[in-house]
Structure 1
Amino acid sequence: MSLIPRRSFLSRLSLASAAVAAGGFTFPVQAGRDQFVEVEIAPGRLRGVRHEGVNIFRGIPYGGKVSGNRRFRRPGPVEPWAGVRSSVFGAPAMQPPRQNEPAPAEDCLFLNIWTPANDNRKRPVMFYNHGGGFVIGSGASQSQDGSNLARNFDVVVVQTNHRLGLFGFLYLDEIAGEEYAGSGNMGMLDIVAGLKWVHDNIAQFGGDPENVMIFGESGGGAKTSCLYAMPSAASYFNKASIESGPGVRMTPKEVAAETTAMLLRTLNIAPADWRKLLDIPAADLLAVQNRLPFVPPFIDKDNPKKKPTPGAGGFGPVVDGKVLPGHPFDPTAPSISKNKPLLVGWNEDEYNFFIWQRKEVDLLKMDFEGLKKKLEPFHGADTAKMIATYRKTMPDASAPDIFVAISSIAMMGLGSIDIAEKKANQHGAPVYLYNFGYKSEKKILDTDYPMGTPHAMDISFKFNNEVPPKDPSQPSESFFGGSRPERFIASHHFAELWTTFARTGKPAAADVPEWPAYNLEDRPTMRIDTRCEVIDNRFAEELAMWKSIGKV
């Protein structure tokens, strides 16, 4: 399905996400002007911060110990605390250090809440799964701060930290016994524990436990795809959004077992002595993880009959037949979520993110002969047909433009459309397909090539964090979104569509056309921008080409 091998793409994605995450974009709380608000939950009393009309509770423990004898197992219980617990971010999962956050730690099961008020009003709950593949990230970065969604759209936003990498996805079921059942999906089960906590407690934070939307971008989209197919999560949410991270297939348990064997060989541990893993310091295990292939071999699908290609390495959700009974959207959409509405889509210029992150600026200088040479190693005899199709549908495009268009739809678009088609085929709850298309004028590094709509730019837009500065005389520029004030309109559209979907199960916004559910006749797609529009059968010729060469 991909222009480049899926493993290579996810390596780029994880490393790129690491580059963004390492920047440490977090919102400081101006404590001098803030008030405090307190709430009682079972383990003890919490103190939150009321800041500009939003109650913020950070670092709430939703699970207990996952280190020591709890490593690779279900969490221990949350330990009660005396006094009042203050609102500070909890430790992120084991990963390289993150600026403006506590040091990463094994015991990382904390969540953050943004709510307009603790008043039992039963607002819709938007439960976000952070990106970063399955190896980095947390619920505390600036672009996904939930304050503006809570303040401007009257919703409750929740985000978790959860186990990542080998601490969350090392498959031990076949060698460690029943006590470690589900070990290959502990990171996902942590998120389920967070959802259960929300179900049990969110009413005290002004949220409705019976109206919960799960959503996530990039790796968070893949996590959301898994949750959509997991029986243990089913009773805790009733709608979902998968953004620039279509998790159609996950790691087969046979491949996960090979990865576990590779890790044990690297550590010179016999399978029968696997318990030695419990005694190795977490920092040492992280160092070993970084020497192995970075991400799991997500399964490409060149044609419907092709079997998954085996290969070890990387850590992510495992299709173990129990926690994750099957691939999330292969061969069909999961029946367990047939009656749950779904949003799915991608950004128009996803690949520009990777050009920026990897400094691949030479790609922006290629001519059409260079484009052919770039594509041929991956597509062979199909390359000429691919280029001809895109030159026809994009007659004014340069060779780099076409390369970005092909790469972007191959990485995120084909899987998103696959999910939409399979969901529509269920004839259950509706699915809505989108493209995000607001164009940032910012240039990629030292070039004249604009960012456009790169991977990850949608995060700050859908969280409504592209807003005018409080002081109009001050310049305003976002990390990817640029400085044009038109972006504030696009951000409001995006956020209103998502929060309305959270509230009602149907995305809608003022000054936006009615968004019809996806179907296999008209194939409507909402293009989100300063002016939103519904486009029927978008990319029809391109998709016909992809299908003709067996990529979908």
Structure 2
Amino acid sequence: MHETGGKNMRKQSKRKLTGIAVLLLSVIMMVGLSSCGEKAKEETEPANVATTPYGQYEGKAKENGVLSFLGVPYAKQPVGDLRWKEAEPLEKSDELLKCHEYGNTPIQVSDEFEQASTTKQGEDCLTANIWTRDISGKKPTMVYIYGGGYVSGGTADPLYHGENFVENNDVVMVSINYRLGPFGFLDLSKIGGTEYEHSRNLGLLDQIAGLKWVKENISSFGGDPDNVTVFGESAGASSIMRLMSSDLSNGLFQKAIIESGGNASIKHVGDKKVDRIKQSQYVAEKFLETTGKKDLQGLLELSGEEVQSYADQLADQLGDDLDLTTWGCVPDGYAVPYDVYGNISKGSGKDVSILIGTNADEINYFNLYDPDLEKSLEEEYQEGTTLGRDFSKNKKCADSYIEAKKDDPQKYTDFCSEYEIRQPSLIFAEMQSAYNDVYMYQWAWKSQIEGLGAAHAVELPFVFGTFDSVTAKRTAGDQLPRELSLKVQAAWAAFAAKGDPTIEGEAEWPKFDQKNRDTMVIDDSLWKVVNDPMPEGRNYLRPMFDVKIPEAK
């Protein structure tokens, strides 16, 4: 799930009815007796049909009162000649689409711990899913961006289904697919010319296209286009950090919930200067070489499955090269600023309030892939790397942290958690607190699965209430405290509604600032505010990061 670690340790006209006829029709629709196959221009719009300039969408009502619209296209599908091009807007239409099933998951690597990779896949994956209690009103809107290291993930994963959240909270929830791996991050600018100059960051540009669609159309589903909260975990959270630093997403969302993001191209003291665009072009040239094709046309003739297969081969070839990131966001000055944290420090995301946090044992997640994780990380550490990232020029700082935790049996795993996720997240929070409201949490509830603790992504079943999903059972356990889920959902929904995660009737959740660093520690039976929890990482490792924290206004 982590954006950098998976490979190395690892998508009419209306005729008015009047008076009692309107009331009668509404009642009939609410009890599910309507027939929705007719086009809306022939009758008043049913309660489960949303009308937008791009089509009419028939949703499906559940007994719990939640209306779901699944597999709604938010852009033209990137197939044929549109492969490796920016998503194009839909054409206007009055066609009625039945939106009862999830669309195709983006083509991706196979991963037994990523259930999205077991769902139906295809390049025609640019779809959204919407859950709402009704299509009237202007409810807070929450848009989820999944993680998966930019190589896996998808909205059809049962872990991310929004029905339970909306049943418990009066919001509109949206999830969007975006292209992954070689479909979303293959830089063909040198091979295909200027027509493909933005192919290196298509996955992020897909997210922006999805947010634009939400801005323009969510009012038809009962959502407020001027009260949008994006939320995401891991690579989804890192995507949000990048979106906040980019002019392309200005005005598309007002709030953000950033779960275990970190890293988003943060700079470290002593980093080797690397031209990431030239690097990404080199990866594309190696990809072309791997396929045996001669040019772009040859690549376009490959099937989607062949593209992914060759990408897997290339990742294996380049996997040990610390200077290369095969798939992922590339700072290019267009979709991704050259200095994400530098932009945030200067106020690029000043109009966005955030709820941000990390889990106490982030990197324990990779125990799922490597039972000897601590030993593996210790071996990497001695070489001056962690999860394939070179920190050798800052090893004295790292050594001081390890010495301070010498009696901790998972000190190398903790170091990796701090370096990769926790400190970058704290730095982001400190920067953003100079411009807008910031709320901080630390997830302390420990998984029932041995060796995981409060690992990366363990909070997700509680956020979505999807305890029956395979991923929930594999990462969190079987008998999970549902009361914790209800409380987490209430806090997330409160933040989406009013920009403050304080739950009505509960103790105040104070704002985070650069001085006190007030943090809500989330556990099963007790939530408590702690001033600067787990300070060792900040005390010993902060000098490793090449950042400037702006003074609070």
TM-score range, shorter-chain basis?
0.7 to 0.9
Would you say 1:386 and 2:383 are equivalent positions? no
The aligned counterpart of 2:41 is none
The aligned counterpart of 1:429 is 436
Alpha-carbon shift at residue 157 of structure 1 (Å): 0.7
- Deviation string 1:34-60 (CA, Å, 9 cap, x unpaired) is 888222333433221111110011001
Q: Bigger CA drift: 514-523 or 411-420? A: 514-523
The aligned counterpart of 1:209 is 225
- Deviation string 1:170-222 (CA, Å, 9 cap, x unpaired) is 12334533432422121111111111111111111110000001111011112
The aligned counterpart of 1:257 is 281
* Residue 111 of structure 1, aligned match among 115, 124, 128: 128
The aligned counterpart of 1:159 is 175
The aligned counterpart of 2:100 is 87
Alpha-carbon shift at residue 8 of structure 1 (Å): 6.8
RMSD value over aligned CA atoms? 3.2
- Deviation string 1:204-246 (CA, Å, 9 cap, x unpaired) is 1110000001111011112212221222221211111221122
State the identity as a percent.
28
* Residue 252 of structure 2, aligned match among 211, 223, 236: 236
The aligned counterpart of 1:20 is none
Q: Matched residues in 2 for 1:443 and 1:236: separation? A: 41
* Residue 58 of structure 2, aligned match among 34, 40, 47: 47
Q: Matched residues in 2 for 1:434 and 1:220: separation? A: 17
Would you say 1:493 and 2:509 are equivalent positions? no
* Residue 477 of structure 2, aligned match among 482, 485, 503: 482
Q: Is the 8 A contact 1:219 1:245 kept in 2?
A: yes
Would you say 1:454 and 2:455 are equivalent positions? yes
Q: Bigger CA drift: 252-261 or 174-183? A: 174-183
Give the secondary structure class of the aligned counterpart of 1:351: helix
The aligned counterpart of 1:67 is 79
Question: Residues 537 and 313 of structure 1: is their aligned pair in 2 closer, same or farther, counting only changes over 3 Å?
Answer: closer
> Which amino acid in structure 1 is aligned with residue 307 of structure 2?
L
Q: Is the 8 A contact 2:3 2:148 kept in 1?
A: no
* Residue 382 of structure 2, aligned match among 368, 376, 380: 376
- Note the 1:255-294 alignment, pairs <5 A: 255-269=279-293, 273-293=295-315
* Residue 399 of structure 1, aligned match among 401, 409, 430: 409
Q: Is the 8 A contact 1:247 1:329 kept in 2?
A: no
Would you say 1:192 and 2:187 are equivalent positions? no
Give the secondary structure class of the aligned counterpart of 2:510: coil
Give the secondary structure class of the aligned counterpart of 2:178: coil
The aligned counterpart of 2:511 is 517
> Which amino acid in structure 1 is aligned with residue 106 of structure 2?
A
Q: Matched residues in 2 for 1:506 and 1:296: separation? A: 44
Q: Bigger CA drift: 211-220 or 239-248? A: 239-248
Alpha-carbon shift at residue 277 of structure 1 (Å): 2.0
- Note the 1:131-146 alignment, pairs <5 A: 131-146=147-162
Q: Matched residues in 2 for 1:64 and 1:494: separation? A: 36
Give the secondary structure class of the aligned counterpart of 2:125: coil
Q: Is the 8 A contact 1:12 1:354 kept in 2?
A: no
Q: Matched residues in 1 for 2:334 and 2:317: separation? A: 22
Alpha-carbon shift at residue 478 of structure 1 (Å): 4.2
Q: Is the 8 A contact 2:191 2:285 kept in 1?
A: no
Q: Is the 8 A contact 2:364 2:413 kept in 1?
A: yes
Give the secondary structure class of the aligned counterpart of 2:340: coil
The aligned counterpart of 1:539 is 534
Q: Is the 8 A contact 1:11 1:295 kept in 2?
A: no
Q: TM-score, normalised by structure 1?
A: 0.79
Question: Residues 310 and 48 of structure 1: is their aligned pair in 2 closer, same or farther, counting only changes over 3 Å?
Answer: same
The aligned counterpart of 1:19 is none
Question: Residues 294 and 518 of structure 1: is their aligned pair in 2 closer, same or farther, counting only changes over 3 Å?
Answer: farther
The aligned counterpart of 2:369 is 357
Q: Matched residues in 2 for 1:550 and 1:279: separation? A: 44
Would you say 1:58 and 2:82 are equivalent positions? no
The aligned counterpart of 1:18 is none
The aligned counterpart of 2:186 is 170
> Which amino acid in structure 2 is aligned with residue 94 of structure 1?
I
- Deviation string 1:330-375 (CA, Å, 9 cap, x unpaired) is 46436331121112221111222211233337x4xx7xxx997674
Q: Matched residues in 1 for 2:328 and 2:55: separation? A: 34
Give the secondary structure class of the aligned counterpart of 1:535: strand
Q: Matched residues in 2 for 1:144 and 1:459: separation? A: 8
> Which amino acid in structure 1 is aligned with residue 482 of structure 2?
F
Give the secondary structure class of the aligned counterpart of 1:277: helix
Give the secondary structure class of the aligned counterpart of 2:362: coil
The aligned counterpart of 2:446 is 439
Q: Matched residues in 1 for 2:437 and 2:316: separation? A: 36
Q: Matched residues in 1 for 2:383 and 2:322: separation? A: 21
Q: TM-score, normalised by structure 2?
A: 0.79
Question: Residues 200 and 141 of structure 1: is their aligned pair in 2 closer, same or farther, counting only changes over 3 Å?
Answer: same
Question: Residues 276 and 466 of structure 1: is their aligned pair in 2 closer, same or farther, counting only changes over 3 Å?
Answer: closer
Alpha-carbon shift at residue 140 of structure 1 (Å): 1.9
Give the unaligned 5+ runs of structure 1.
Answer: 1-5, 16-32, 298-308, 392-396, 445-450, 470-476
